[in-house]
Amino acid sequence: MLEPIQGEAGTIVPDDGYLKRVYDLSRKYNCLLIADEVQAGLGRTGNLLASDHDLQEHGLKPDIVTLGKALSGGMTPASGIVADRELMSVFTEGNHGSTFGGNPLTMAIVRASLEVIRDEGLIENAAERGEQLRAGIRGINSALLRDVRGRGLMNAIEVDRNSHVTGVDLCNIFQKYGMLTKATKDYSIRFTPPLVITAQEVEEVVQIMERSLEDLEKLNEQRANESMFEDLDDITQGVTLSQPGK
């Protein structure tokens, strides 16, 4: 069981072909390949499923896919799994229960959400806006910006780990300019905007990021100077300077 793109780890994107190799290993050792697409699935990465990026061209798919989050468009809690009849037939009536599973309102919302994703071009928009976002960020000249990665609208940047600032510092600056996101693993910052984001809104994100990185560089310089003086205090602690003529 794996995430096609690791989310909480900081949007870690595997090399092309990775999932195909994992699939081949699962066939070799006669085990199921389960793709956790709760974060990455349903259009987020510019494909219906994130695992499609590697597997679709080979006519392959995971044995089981787990879904959530976008499954209901954020309107109500919903999650589920997708598998073929052979696998699903291991469940018989009465041997699996869920308090809220299959309630009619949630199922209607799930169906409407999937129709919107399919019919309103959200998968295509995620692919196009994601390319635009990454290209815009890579065009920013900042010594503190060490990495830009992602697929579709599941992206992350990384702040220089050898600096005096962190991803949390940058997120706090973003907030000052009206943009909310969060840091993971101290130095990585994820960008997962709604799939309906427009080209103009992506431009605004890039502009805010450029201003914010300028502020971050000033903060980094300030902290570097403070650290230098603290080190100097440590070195000179207990040293007595003699006065001239004594």
Question: Residue 139 is encoded by which pair of tokens?
Answer: 């065009």
Q: What is the DSSP letter of 211?
A: H
Compute how many other C-beta atoms are within 10 angstroms of the C-beta atom of residue 224.
12
Domains of the chain: 18-95+103-120 (3.40.640.10), 123-228 (3.90.1150.10)
Residue 174 CA to residue 95 CA, distance in Å, equals 49
- In this model, does residue 95 exceed pLDDT 90? no
Residue 84 CA to residue 32 CA, distance in Å, equals 12
Q: What is the DSSP letter of 241?
A: P
Question: Residue 226 is encoded by which pair of tokens?
Answer: 């403070």
Nearest to 202 by CA among 142, 150, 143: 150
3-state secondary structure of 236: helix
- In this model, does residue 240 exceed pLDDT 80? no
3-state secondary structure of 90: coil
- Residues sharing a CB contact under 8 Å with residue 232, sequence separation 6 or more, in sequence order: none
For the chain, strand residue ranges (E) read 34-36, 64-67, 80-83, 145-151, 154-159, 182-184, 188-191
> Which tens digits make up the pLDDT trace of 115-164?
999 999 999 999 999 999 999 999 999 999 999 999 999 999 999 999 99
- In this model, does residue 241 exceed pLDDT 90? no
Give the residue with greater pLDDT, 3 vs 99.
Answer: 3
- In this model, does residue 75 exceed pLDDT 80? yes
The pTM assigned to this predicted structure is 0.88
> What is the percentage of the chain residues whose pLDDT exceeds 70?
93
Identify whether the C-beta of residue 133 lies closer than 8 Å to the C-beta of residue 195: no
First to last CA, the chain: 77
Identify whether the C-beta of residue 87 lies closer than 8 Å to the C-beta of residue 5: no
